[in-house]
Chains A and B, each alone.
Chain A
Amino acid sequence: MFCCAALIGVWQWRAREGALNAFLYGSPAEIGTALMTTIETGAIWTDLTTTALETMAGFTLGNVIGTTLGLALWYSRFVSRVLQPFILALGSIPIIALAPITIIWFGTGFASKVAMSTLSVVVVSIIIAYKGALGVDPDQINLMLSLRARRSQIFRLLVIPASMTDIFAGLKLTVGFALLGAIVGEFMSSTKGLGHEIFKSGSLYAISAVFAELIITVALALALSGIITRVERRLLPWRHDLS
């Protein structure tokens, strides 16, 4: 906290002295003004809500698909064998390389950003859920077997709840990926959104505005992961280490 304040102080001081080119590097005071203006005029709200909605939609879609597939990989050896090469292939593609295709398929509006966001979430989500399911203690599975539990019962009573800790860790991790996907999508083609504004301000060398929009983006990311932490605490009351 102190370091951060000191850094901002030095930055402001050097920028004011002219030792640091405020045109290229911005200055804290200007960034503050830019931030206040965007908030006061309300211009940023459309962008913020657009990006937030894209991110949340991509996050939800990606995690629902990813977690379902990841757990299904445990359940069915067949699914696992069929899907594994695809997962590896998809996981190794830089997400931005998929942007042209998503624009062609889903257009330049909301849907293509959600698609980008989903794509950047889904692979990580699959792998985390699968790892969580594979991480179940084999002795615990033996215990269920000794109780003559069927595979479906082992899945429902043991594997799914046991994977929850990992799945929630995945949710926290993929919030950032969902936002990344949405912003990359906006960079490619868009008319609104935080990514759009950052790209536009950057092109215009409005460095202070870029910083102001970055701060809002970070705030969005923090707010979203804060929500997930709350939900986790609510849903996993047995995890005393969380509170």
Chain B
Amino acid sequence: MGETLEIIRSISFSLARGEIVSLVGPSGCGKTTLLNLLCRLIEPSQGSVKWHGNEVGGVPPGVGYMLQKDLLLPWRTAIQNVMLGLQVKGGSRAEHRARASELLDRLGLGGFTDHFPSTLSGGMRQRVALARTLAPDPDVLLFDEPFSALDFQTKILIERDTLRLIRELRRSLLLITHDVEEAVCLSDRVIVLSHRPCMIVAEHRIDMDGDRDNLIALRETKGFAHYVRRIWAELDIR
């Protein structure tokens, strides 16, 4: 005990506007730590975190953060949960409500705006969480395995809708996952991380023909298995 672990060594990567990039790594490699460092929720013990080449003090603006836990506030209805980030920013309540209602509509939850989270299913709750993340209109989305607790069917549907929406809004997404297939399916680029201390092992641009919205058919596409196999090998899971 009391021993310090070197978790993350030097990591540098870029994320272009509208690009979806996945970070995959063996479990326990420090993915979540990396994400928390990026949003400055924790301070690095050494070194610095730079956004657009500049060090930022405090949480950088324009970042949306989403976890496996939906973190909906149980005392707020779906729409009030979506309005949370807007309320923190300030401004007119009517505008917030309109924006939240529009997002919920687009995520197929138009009829559930006034439901409390406890009455919604896991998938619906995660959709509300997604709407909450998107509501303040962030430039960069940081997702830490937000869909990993959902069953396969729900997951495929919500991933499809999420991707469609993010591509449409031209937002950048950094997705942290341990699921290689998910990473290959969803991303434009996959970055493979090593065991502790966490470093970048490889980077793959994912080029696949076919409809990127059809996440099931994509798994059958030529090249999919190839990417998955290579990334698996690089992950070096013991």
**Residues of A bordering B, CB below 8 Å:** 137, 139-140, 142-149, 153, 157-158, 161-162, 164, 236-240
Say whether, besides A137-B71, A139-B67, A144 and B88 are in contact (CB < 8 Å). yes
B65 & A143 in contact (Cβ 8 Å cutoff): yes
B55 nearest CB across to chain A (Å): 17
Which of these, A142, A153, A236, contacts B88 with CB under 8 Å?
A153
Q: Give the complex CA separation of A185 and B222 in angstroms.
A: 83
Kindly state the separation between the CA atoms of A142 and B39 in the bound complex, as whole angstroms.
9
- Shortest CB distance B74–A (Å): 5
Interface residues of B (CB under 8 A from A): 36, 39, 41, 58-59, 61, 63-65, 67, 69, 71, 73-76, 84-85, 87-89, 116-119, 136
The interface residues of chain A, by DSSP majority, are classed as helix
Q: Provide the bound-state CA to CA distance between A52 and B59, in Å.
A: 52
- B36 — which chain A residues lie within 8 A by C-beta? 142
Assembled-state Cα–Cα distance A142/B32 (Å): 13
Known: A148-B59, A148-B61, A240-B119. A143 touches B87 (CB 8 A): no
- How far apart are B42's CB and chain A's nearest CB, in angstroms? 9
Interface residue from A147, A148, A161 paired with B75 (Cβ < 8 Å): A161
Decide yes or no: A146 and B41 within 8 Å by CB, A137-B71, A161-B73, A240-B116 being known contacts: yes
- The residue on B at minimum CB distance from A237 is B116
Q: A162 contacts which chain B residues (CB < 8 A)?
A: 73, 75
Contact check, B71 vs A140: say whether CB atoms are below 8 A apart.
yes
A-B contact pairs, 11 of them (CB 8 A): A144-B88, A146-B39, A146-B41, A148-B61, A148-B89, A158-B73, A161-B73, A238-B75, A238-B76, A238-B118, A240-B119
Quick one: closest B residue to A236, CB to CB? B75
Nearest opposing residue in chain A for B118, CB measure: A240
A164 vs B58: C-alpha distance when bound (angstroms): 29
Most central of B69, B84, B87, B118 by chain A CB within 10 Å: B84
Which A residues are in CB contact (< 8 Å) with B61? Answer: 148
**Chain A nearest CB: distance from B225 CB in Å?**
36
Residues of A within 8 Å of B136, CB to CB, are 147
Contact of B65 among A137, A142, A236 (CB under 8 A): A142
